[in-house]
Structure 1
Amino acid sequence: MTQTFDYIIVGAGSAGCVLASKLSACGSHKVLLIEAGGTDRRFWINVPLGYGKTFNDPKVNWCYSAQADPGLNNRQAYWPRGRVIGGSSSINAMAYLRGLSHDFDDWAKAGAEGWNWETVRQTYEAIETHVERGQTPSSTDGPLVVSDVSEGMHPFSRHFLEASRQMGWHVSDNLNGQDAEGMMNLRSTVKNGRRWSSAAAFLHPALKRGNLRVVSNALVQNVILDQGKATGVRYRVGGQMAEAMATREVILSAGAVNSPQLLQLSGIGPANLLKRHGIKVRHNLSQVGQGLQDHLGISHFFHATEPTLNNTLGNRLGQMLSGIRYLLTRSGPLSVPVNQVSGFVRSDETAEFADMQIYCNPMSYKTETKGQPGVDTEAGFLLCAQPCRPTSRGEINIRSADPMDAPAIQPNSLSTNHDCDMAIKAGRVLQKLAQTEAIRSVTRTRIEPDVTRMNDDQMLENFRANAGTIFHPSCTCRMGTSEQDSVLDSRLRVHGVAGLRVVDASSFPSITSGNTNAPVMMLAARGADLILEDATKRMNA
């Protein structure tokens, strides 16, 4: 039997959970939230360091692979994406960084009117509660808990902060506050030793509302269109087909990979692509799936002269004791994400803004393609540099008309001179960081390839051979000014199709400087406000 709702949201991820909460809050709107994955009530999801276990688990992860990437020596990158309640916020590394102010001012310049820094800052402040050392909440009372977990970080991480000072970088208490750049002990979406995902913050408290229905383990096949308007969705659950109709809007929040895929499967996208796969063209929208951006990072590993997390988690006994400690006290190594020190810095004195994100982890490990991260048994640590604002643009396109076929992901990494230059600058920054007194004093050996012995050409080739995604895909249904340059208008409405919006990382006009989970939740919160504003205008018209 076909059921009718006011709003249908596709995807219970970082954005979808926020939307479901805000759109159902008044109690008068019937909201359906459809998720392809299942429950997030899983041990390794809730444990902060458990994302090493969910990294390649198909029970909670789409486990995508990109196409051979010419800019990265034709390597095929592994792309984990959340397929579970909470989406990628249930399997990510929990780092919380809003981004830099000019990221959002650039959104506005690109046609996303109303998304400048001053506006989005107010949304961030409305959804956040910051918990400082000693678990004292800030004055704000938003549902999203952002914690200072530095007391639980490994003592080795102090060397990273000292090295930052020796580099001349500002060391901040909180880069989500007044400080725009510098290094800090990362703030994380962790509450009382547990992951605080978008589902935990927004969806779970809303589930008691009678006007919100969640259907999980359900794969949406396509959006139903009637005379240029989205009126519902078809989805498969338990081997059966079902339909749901929307009296107001259908909202895609399936993420930067699956939202463009679903538009294309519904006949909205580049006409040539749709015709090739036998899909009726409902609206020729050439930019659907185009404009893909992602962050790439280059990591270098070092053996240390003093204990790191490897000494605890690199052996069975240490793992067992850490597990017991976590179960009894929700403390210890498992209670804190492995990314412990990070921040935004300028790659050199010519940079107008901070243009490089640095990660410093008190652990060294190896990850095979689609493999489980393997912790080094010897004491070690990692230094990583990630160019903040790449200019290369890739694409995501369906391979067939079958919703079960994973789309083709083509990153087009290092396809601009700017990005090649930034790859070299990333190597230079790590070269200098590795040679600070603070790092040299705790380095036993530099694991090959040794960045300190590279020239610029070698740094670029090293980046091509060894850099990897930081798992921040975005911009594949971006906001902009027209159908020629974008998929959405500044209110997240699909150009040329009534009653249809896209609200997730694919909506970004350009990638933000840092970790993308924070801006996705902000975007969804502001997007919900826009949806409700437009509904009120229609009622009063």
Structure 2
Amino acid sequence: MNFVLVLVLNYWQVSAALFSLPSSWLWFLHRGEQEACHKCACAREESSTLPSTCGSPDEYTFMQYMECKLSEACDFVDPTGCRRHDTIPDMTEVDFVVVGAGSAGSVVASRLSEEASWSVALLEAGGPEPTASQAPSMYFNYQRPHSHNWDFALEPQGAACLGYPAGRCHWPRGKSMGGTSVIHGMMYMRGNPWDYNNLESMNINGWNYRDVLPYFLKGENNTEIGTIAEPAYHQTGGYLTVQRFRDQPQIAHSIMAGAKEMGYDTYGDLNGKNQLGFTIAQATTRDGLRLSLSRAYLHPILHRKNLHINMFSMVTKVLVDKEKKMALGVEYEKDGKLRRVIARKEVILCAGAVQSPQILLLSGIGPAEHLQKHDIAVMHNLPRVGKNLINHVSFNVKFSITNKTDTVTGFARLDVMDKVPATVPHIQMFFDGYMANCSRKGKIYNETQNFLHMVPTLLRPLSRGEIKLRSSDYKQPPLIYANYLESKEDVDILIKGIRLCIQLSKTSALKKEGLQLVTAKLKGCENLNFDSDAYWECAVRHFTNPENHQVGTCSMGSSEEDSVIDSKLRVHGMKGLRIIDASSFPVVPSGNLNAPVVMLAEKGVDIIKQDYN
């Protein structure tokens, strides 16, 4: 998932003056960033991502200039910045309170406010999305600690993440309008039809592939129907533009050729009839720029008088009538003051797989014993809140190369004995290469040596984790026990995926690119024979890659004993409270998560509209 030329080529098409004005770059370097950059209307002061990403200022002088120029491209600036000081008066009543303006919340607020008679309050803990994130090549900068990233640290565990400081992996989670759709890799993958059909075997009705496909289509504006996109599985006219990046370097096509040598289908629509194979993936972009869910669903409808957006508003709890088992509204903190907004109809949590269960627990909804431990009054004993945490996990297999790569992905079955149909993959493959986000001179390649990472990703992990409260203080992040790789079968499948990567690297197409496996042993595994199964097990346990596809912590199901919400996304045993976000999925789909979350939100709002006629 590398976007090297996307930043350079596509931004040049928007602002072609950059390379034609080298003197302005020199002037910038001598004058200093604050004097050189001009502020757009609605722009918010944004701290640079470069120090935490690139190190010494001497190492990223060109990118300082780029970040400045991006901030001056006023079409990129989030217009919600003009509303950043808006505050809903305390005790205001609205019909729906939506908590979280991430991928799900942006869709939910947009679609609910289509009903002119309904008033909707959208509360977001962060602010406007950062301007520089619009350049796809800059996405990695926001994976590091930053004001736009919650940067959750996982609790240390004995089976994974052993090679990182204190044995902790981290989860980047977006803290701004658009949420994690502002900092993720933008790949548009829906998962496998079996993922959804299998929900019926879990007594979850209304969510098979036939039921959900219309909601994938509803939000989509696919610009490549009839070429890469199969017409029967795609649509135009929705809010969310889906298209491939225009820059497709030769190495991407060499990967396709190598996959074809191995017998895989290539260049197909992996959101279509067949998910197995390799392709140059489509992404949620528009005209070469990132398209966050806020930009897609909220920016076009900011004029609606019935939609009230409150930024920098951190929800502390849901207000609950214990006797009636009813959600009354939410309490939130803004500008150091606690405030309340009342919901006449419903509170809808869209805070994601980490913070939706945290908010429920802080509200007294969850396992009674855990709540009592933190002196939280039990409003509703719901044992499964925070349980069933699932995430894709992967590993970087490093190769040296003389070229660079692009948004290539593939889905493959492995020699694994299971009951999954033959049309369902075991792993997804990503490809990471050189990125220009810390370029010193504006080069789109590394001046010394380039590396390519093939990243086999476990699609159906057996290991399960959970979310717990650290304390009753809403400002404290929760305890996250990911429990990665506790199942030996998860490790075995990842090792088979690594073997597949090495096999792909040996195809004639990739040999022509000079691709060579890096054989330097990883720290902590020096005493093991390189390329043995024992070595690779050590490697994946030390340098585990958590993907950003967390689900399950408020999952759908048939009862309070096995889940948190029902098939209509209503919290079991409660009135006026739903959860519509990634936490609602009982299992993780076989692919990137953003498209399934958009589908879930589209379908969730239709369910609400049907319930209220």
TM > 0.5 fold call: yes
Q: CA deviation at 1:174?
A: 1.9
Q: Which residue does the alignment assign to 1:154?
A: 249
Check the 8 A contact 2:98/2:122 in 1, yes or no. Answer: yes
Residue from 479, 484, 495 that aligns with 2:556: 479
Q: Which amino acid aligns with 1:148?
A: R
Distance 1:449 1:97, change over 3 A: farther
* 1:366–1:375 contact (8 Å) kept in structure 2: no
- Is this contact kept in 1: 2:397–2:498, CA < 8 A? no
Partner of residue 499 from structure 1, selected from 562, 571, 576: 576
Look up the match of 2:565: 488
Mapped contact 1:114–1:490 kept (Cα < 8 A):
yes
- 1:14 Cα deviation (Å)? 0.3
Q: Name the structure 2 match of 1:82.
A: 174
Q: Distance in 1 between matches of 2:499 and 2:342?
A: 55
Which residue matches 2:149? 61
Is the alpha carbon distance of 1:450 and 1:114 closer, same or farther for their aligned partners in structure 2, counting shifts above 3 Å? farther
1:116 paired to 2:233: no
* Richer in strand (by share): 1
1:129-165 Cα shifts (integer Å, max 9, x gaps)? 111299999752111111122x312222111111111
Report whether the alignment pairs 1:407 with 2:478: yes
Distance 1:254 1:56 in 2: 20
1:210 aligns with 2:305: yes
What amino acid is the match of 2:358? Q
CA distance in 2, matches of 1:382, 1:438: 17
How far is the alpha carbon of 1:189 from its aligned partner? 0.3
With normalisation by structure 1, the TM-score equals: 0.88
* C-alpha displacement of 1:76: 0.8
1:488 Cα offset (Å): 0.5
- Report the Cα distance in structure 1 between the residues aligned to 2:516 and 2:376, rounded to whole angstroms: 57
Greater Cα offset, 288-297 or 48-57: 48-57
**Counterpart amino acid of residue 21 in structure 1:** S
Coordinate RMSD, CA, aligned:
2.4
Q: Does 2:166 match 1:99?
A: no
Residue 16 (structure 1) aligned with residue 105 (structure 2): yes
Alignment of 1:62-461 (within 5 A): 62-72=150-160, 74=162, 75-132=167-224, 140-149=236-245, 151-226=246-321, 227=323, 228-304=325-401, 306-308=402-404, 340-348=407-415, 352=422, 353-363=424-434, 377-443=448-514, 445-449=516-520, 454-461=531-538
Q: Helix, strand or coil for the counterpart of 2:376?
A: coil
Alpha-carbon offset, residue 433 of structure 1: 1.7
Preserved contact between residue 359 and residue 384 of structure 1 (Cα < 8 Å): yes
Where structure 1 has 5 or more consecutive residues not aligned to the other structure, the ranges are: 310-337, 368-373, 537-541
8 A Cα contact 2:92 2:342, kept in partner: yes
Structure 1 residue 423 displacement after superposition: 2.2
Contact kept, 8 Å, 2:220 with 2:235, in 1: the verdict is: no
Establish whether residue 467 from structure 1 lines up as the match of residue 562 from structure 2.
no
**d(CA) in 2 for partners of 1:61, 1:289:** 21
Q: CA deviation at 1:45?
A: 1.8
Task: Note the C-alpha offset of 1:535.
Answer: 1.4
Matching residue's letter, 1:115? W
Moved more, 105-114 or 198-207: 105-114
Alignment pair present for 1:511 and 2:588: yes
SS state of the match for residue 291, structure 1? coil
Instruction: For 2:367, give the aligned amino acid.
Output: P
Contact in 2 for aligned 1:365/1:376 (Cα 8 Å): no
Deviates more, 1:340-349 or 1:122-131: 340-349
TM-score (norm 2): 0.78
2-structure distance, mates of 1:206, 1:366: 32
Letter paired with 1:476? T
Of 32, 37, 50 in structure 1, the residue corresponding to residue 138 of structure 2 is 50
Distance 1:349 1:510, change over 3 A: closer
Moved more, 48-57 or 4-13: 48-57
Structure 2 contact 218–235 (Cα < 8 Å) conserved: no
For structure 2, list consecutive stretches of 5 or more residues without a partner in the other structure: 1-89, 439-444, 523-528
Distance 2:309 2:145 in 1: 23
2: CA distance, partners of 1:131 / 1:184: 17
C-alpha distance in 1 between matches for 2:95 and 2:161 = 48
Indicate how the Cα distance of structure 1 residues 298 and 365 shifts in structure 2: closer, same or farther if over 3 A, else same. farther
Q: Which of 7, 28, 36 pairs up with 2:125? A: 36
Task: For 1:71 and 1:490, locate their aligned partners in 2 and report how far apart those are by CA, in whole Å.
Answer: 34
How far apart are the structure 1 equivalents of 2:514 and 2:159?
Answer: 32
Q: Given that residues 582 and 597 in structure 2 are in contact (C-alpha distance below 8 angstroms), is that contact kept between their aligned partners in structure 1?
A: yes
Tell me the alpha carbon deviations over residues 244-268 of structure 1, each in whole angstroms, 9 at most, x when there is no partner: 0001000000000000000000000
Q: Which is higher, the Rg of structure 1 or of structure 2?
A: 2
For residue 416 of structure 1, report the CA deviation from its aligned partner: 1.9
Q: Is the alpha carbon distance of 1:46 and 1:167 closer, same or farther for their aligned partners in structure 2, counting shifts above 3 Å?
A: same
Q: Distance in 2 between the 1:166 and 1:193 partners?
A: 31
1:331 corresponds in structure 2 to none
- For structure 1, which segment, 133-142 or 433-442, has the greater mean C-alpha deviation from structure 2 after superposition? 133-142
**Post-superposition CA distance 1:337-358 (Å, at most 9, x none):** x5x1102111237673211101
Residues paired across the two proteins, number: 498
The alpha carbon displacement at 1:424 in A equals 2.3
Instruction: Encode CA deviations 1:402-426: one digit per residue, 9 max, x unaligned.
Output: 0000001111111223313212222
Q: Which one-letter code corresponds to 2:171 in the other structure?
A: W
Cα distance, 1:61 vs structure 2: 0.8
Q: Distance in 1 between matches of 2:447 and 2:156?
A: 28
Instruction: Report the 3-state secondary structure (helix = DSSP H, G, I; strand = E; otherwise coil) of the residue aligned with 1:37.
Output: coil
The whole-number CA distance in structure 2 between the counterparts of 1:39 and 1:208 is 17
